[in-house]
Amino acid sequence: MKSHARVMAKIFMLSALLLLCVSCDPPNFVWPDKSLKIEKLKVDSPTEYDRWKEKRRAENSPQLIVGSAVVDLTPKRGRGYYIAGYAPNKRSNGVITPVTARVFFIDDGKTSLALVGTDFVGLMNDRIWDARHKLSRSGNELDLLVTSSHNHSGPDTMGLWGSYLLFMLPVESGVEEGYMNRISSEIARAVTEAALSARPATLKVVTVKVPDGINENLHRPGYKDNDMTILQARGLDGETIATLVNYTCHAEFSGQNHDRIYADFPGFMYPRLEELEGGNAVFMNGALGGMIAPAMPRWTENHPRLRVKRARMAGRYLAELVSLALKNAEEIENPTLDITRRLIRFPVENDGFVYLSEKGFLKRTFHNGQMYSETWRIGIGPLEMVTVPGEILPALGFEIKGEIMQGRHKMILGLANDEIGYIMNAADWQDPLYEYERSVSLGSQTGGILIENIKKLYPEVRSAGSAGN
């Protein structure tokens, strides 16, 4: 009886503690300041990038030019950073590959575009604007487009994977503001370097099907976008400047039991592709939501070294497939940039996001239950790009590519200029398969609002739709 009473007492105490955790803030804890600590800027003077662009616009008969740069953003100490993804309370215990930002810069004489791919889980729109303001003070901020690979083996750049009491109640954000300031400053510096080094170039593009075995749809096997679209720039001397690869897969080969920082499979693709093609390699993810992940058996979660080995194999395989595909690439004749942008307002229905924002863990500001984001349409000859501010599910990806986009070669740039979580259509929102995705989404209206705004980037699609009503 006494033994039974002691067990019951322990259960009661644990239950009381759990109830306390979910019902109130930890005692004697000071919540962090939720305002972003952005460095002060000299807004009255142009940046080096602004001065470069002013000179560029003064040129007579300018040729298309392309530049590239890579900046190492690996945390200066390889240990102790909160790792993004899966679960909180996990700190880094070393480094395997660098974590980078990679720039593919294009200027056609009238328009500039800096495409930046980063090895992070996500960078929110507030952070993108921080980098834009550091890049330019003369109205050139929207030259910058930044995507994230959704890397689950990099440092937390969103604030969601810090310290949680009993893995339930957040007590410390996973974001270190000094590191985030470094990210935005270095992205601006890398874009400036790419612009200053840009030279006359030719562009070519190709789309190839990736065989099964790299990624898989964990909810609906086989239902995924297998296209890999590649854009390459070469100088007039024939040397490669940069190669941009757009492919769809969660960068989470390492699994939840891995605790070392690296760039996942893109981190192994970069050096192999640069060895094969020269220049700099850039990676941008696609419609990876719900749940396009590495094709790895679940038992491998207990073997992180095996999963890293598999990431290396996948990255090198993709690099070799890219190099092979480029032999049949289509030359883009007289390329020019055509860019249209839209600001989007999303309602925030997720109470968890609101709570984390109010407490300062999620480094994002909401206004009257809404948040702002953006979507872009980019045309470069037969290549068309559409940006989405998070992780869209395959059904939305197929709708965008099949019913809206019109280029011969199509790129959906996922987690572009933002990371607002999973984005799905109304049917997927109701599907029990996507219970987890709903919990990490702004709400049921997000997918529909995004599609309507993407359609508005295409006046011809909007006109056709109106004519049918």
User: Is 69 part of a structural domain of the chain?
Assistant: yes
pLDDT at 285: 98
User: Is 28 part of a structural domain of the chain?
Assistant: no
For every one of its 469 residues, what pLDDT tens digit does the chain have, with 9 covering 90 and above? 444 444 444 444 444 434 334 334 333 333 334 444 444 445 568 999 999 999 999 999 999 999 999 999 999 887 888 999 888 888 999 999 999 999 999 999 999 999 999 999 999 999 999 999 999 999 999 999 999 999 999 999 998 888 888 777 778 888 899 999 999 999 999 999 999 999 999 999 999 999 999 999 999 999 999 999 999 999 999 999 999 999 999 999 998 888 999 999 999 999 999 999 999 999 999 999 999 999 998 888 889 899 999 999 999 999 999 999 999 999 999 999 999 999 999 999 999 888 888 877 787 878 888 999 999 999 999 999 999 999 999 999 999 999 999 999 999 999 999 999 999 999 999 999 999 999 999 999 999 999 999 999 998 755 444 443 3
* Ramachandran class of 269: left when φ > 0, alpha when ψ lies in -120 to 50, beta otherwise: alpha
β-strand partners of 385: 378, 411
pLDDT at 43: 56
In 3D space, the residue among 205, 177, 170, 190 whose CA is nearest the CA of residue 67 turns out to be 190
The answer to whether 445 and 420 are in contact (CB under 8 A) is no
Question: Which structural domain, as residue segments, surrounds residue 309?
Answer: 52-469
The answer to whether 356 and 30 are in contact (CB under 8 A) is no
Q: How many domains does the chain have?
A: 1
User: Is 18 part of a structural domain of the chain?
Assistant: no
User: Is 26 part of a structural domain of the chain?
Assistant: no
Retrieve residue 264's tokens.
């996942």
β-strand partners of 209: 227
pLDDT at 42: 54
User: Is 43 part of a structural domain of the chain?
Assistant: no
Backbone angles phi, psi at 188, to 5 degrees: -60, -40
pLDDT at 277: 98
Q: Where are the alpha helices (DSSP H) in 30-159?
A: 48-57, 125-135
User: Is 104 part of a structural domain of the chain?
Assistant: yes
User: Is 330 part of a structural domain of the chain?
Assistant: yes
User: Is 37 part of a structural domain of the chain?
Assistant: no
